[in-house]
Structure formats: C-alpha cells, structure tokens
Amino acid sequence: MIEILVTLAVLLLDQITKALSAFYLTTLPFHSYTLIDGVLNLTYVKNTGASFGMLSGARWFFIVLTVVACGFIIYFLIRERKTMHTFMKISVSLILSGALGNLIDRVFLGYVRDMIEPAFINFAIFNIADCAITLGVAFLMLDIFFLKNGKRFAQELEKRGELKKQAKKND
C-alpha cells in the first residue's frame, strides 16, 4: 500500500509543479525567476533529451526504455512485496514515480518540463521526477549496501538463485 501512496503522491506533485512552471515561468523574461539569489532559480526549459540534454531528440528511445524499466519495477514490486521492507518499497516507488512523471511528459508533450536550477553551480536544470529518481536510487543503495534489511533482502535473492541452480542440477 505504501508503494501506491508514494508513487501517486510524487507523481501528482511532479505534474502539478510542471504545470505551474509552464503556466507562470513562461510569462517571465528568460522564463526564469530567482528564488534565492545565487542559490536557486526557477527556470522553465523543455528538455528533449536526458540529463544535460544528452541524446536530444531520442524521444521514442526514452519512451520505450522507460516503459520497459517501469514494467520491470512494477513486476519487482509485486513479486517481492512480501520480502521487501518499507524503506526499500519507498526507495523503489520513488524511482518508479520519477520515471512515470517524465514518461508522461515525453508521451504527451514530446519533451520533459524542467524548472529547478541550482544557481551556485553549473548543473542541469531538473524537476521533481528527477529528484525522486535520484533520491530513490540513493536510498536503495544506502539500504542495500549499509542497512541490515537491504543485506537480508540481497541474501534472500542470492539464496533463491542458489536453490534454482541446485534444482536444475538435480533434474
């Protein structure tokens, strides 16, 4: 249940912030508003590629890749639901919601709407979906590599693989 709530909440927040930025920021000069001088700007851009605009114009590639990734994530969440603990479910749900948020933009608009611009560093302009993916991956890595629950989950998957190998040998 937590997976559905996190996914829907982040997806809704992402789409609302994208719609508001498209509506308000496009009326400003340079489509930009300084939120915290020298630290954070809200700057509306249409991103047809991946991070930093890489692979610009590869819309269908990203759509197919994202659909496959989301399918795998949903399958994983359903299949492993009983063995996953809450922190891992939240981590994977953040990744899913971010992927879905950017997928919606690519499918319906042909580009992803970005608006969060760190002014203190030369970095990509990003959105809530990108933040969710980044946090989800960071949380998942933290969980798998440093927390006991993630290690138990990894060990469980490892045991299953070993059991399957033994079963094949016995056949």
How many beta carbons lie within 10 A of that of residue 20, not counting itself?
Answer: 13
**Per-residue confidence at 148, pLDDT binned at 50, 70, 90?**
low
User: What average pLDDT is seen over the chain?
Assistant: 87
Token output for 108: 């319906």
CA distance 11 to 35: 23
Tens of pLDDT along 15-32?
Answer: 999 999 999 998 888 888
φ, ψ for residue 99 (rounded to 5)? -65, -45
Model pLDDT, residue 100 = 97
Amino acid at 158: E
List the one residue out of 99, 40, 109 whose CA is nearest residue 67: 99
Q: Among this protein's residues, is 114 annotated catalytic?
A: yes
Instruction: Give one DSSP letter per residue of 21-48, joined into a string.
Output: HHHHGGGSGGGEEEEETTTEEEEEEEE-
pLDDT at 51 over 80: no
**Among 14, 130, 143, 171, the one annotated catalytic:** 130
The pTM of this model reads: 0.80
**Per-residue confidence at 160, pLDDT binned at 50, 70, 90?**
confident
What is the domain extent for residue 26?
A: 2-170
Tally of structural domains, the chain: 1
Q: Among this protein's residues, is 171 annotated catalytic?
A: no
What's the mean pLDDT in 79-84? 87
pLDDT at 127 over 60: yes
What's the mean pLDDT in 90-96? 96
How many beta carbons lie within 10 A of that of residue 64, not counting itself?
Answer: 11
**Among 105, 114, 143, 171, the one annotated catalytic:** 114
